[in-house]
């Protein structure tokens, strides 16, 4: 879909994952960390008094209530993670050449206004499965 481009694909699923792919179509490696929902559930289940909250975009980087503070931490924490890791990946894997950064997965659209991604494709994995099926359809 993106020939001759270095890629970083960030998938916001159960885990937040980064796939690093060279313009030569080589998978160079990845990063796996707890997803945004898993992070919220960890706070809810493994702290004495912190509540489960709605995961949503927040305007402010910090909150004035416990709920707002958790929501800000979840949302802006993901933004900071994506910004820092894409910067470091670009330097380490692509010697500073700007890759195409793709956001996918259930929570990717929530970050549409944050300028994290060149492309947001929440259903990228399904598009890939469709293409794999087409490639292999004639071999069956």
Q: What is the pLDDT of residue 139?
A: 67
Average pLDDT over the chain reads 93
In CATH, the number for domain 7-137 is: 3.30.420.40
What are the sequence ranges of the domains in the chain? 7-137
- Contact indicator for 83, 56 with CB cutoff of 8 Å: no
Tell me the pTM: 0.89
Q: 15-21 and 27-34: which strand pairing?
A: antiparallel
Q: How many CA atoms lie within 13 A of 9 on its CB side?
A: 22
- Contact indicator for 135, 41 with CB cutoff of 8 Å: no
Cβ-proximal residues to 36 (8 Å cutoff; 6+ apart), any chain:
12, 16, 55, 74, 75, 78, 107
Of 53-62, 118-127, 131-140, least confident by mean pLDDT is 131-140
pLDDT digits (tens, 9 = 90+) for 21-72: 999 999 999 999 999 999 999 999 999 889 999 999 999 999 999 999 999 9
The Cβ of residue 139 has, within 10 Å, a number of other Cβ atoms equal to 5
């Amino acid at each position: 879909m993106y020939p001759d481009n270095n890629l970083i694909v960030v998938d916001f699923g159960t885990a937040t994952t980064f796939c690093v792919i060279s313009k030569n179509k080589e998978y160079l490696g990845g990063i796996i960390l707890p997803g945004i929902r898993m992070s919220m559930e960890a706070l809810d289940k493994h702290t004495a008094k912190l509540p489960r909250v709605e995961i949503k975009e927040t305007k402010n980087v910090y909150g004035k209530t416990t709920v707002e503070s958790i929501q800000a931490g979840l949302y802006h924490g993901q933004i900071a993670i994506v910004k820092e890791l894409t910067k470091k990946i670009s330097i380490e894997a692509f010697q500073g050449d700007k890759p195409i950064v793709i956001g996918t997965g259930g929570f990717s659209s929530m970050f549409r206004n944050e300028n994290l991604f060149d492309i947001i494709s929440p259903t990228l994995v399904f598009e890939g499965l469709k293409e794999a099926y087409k490639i292999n359809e004639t071999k069956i």
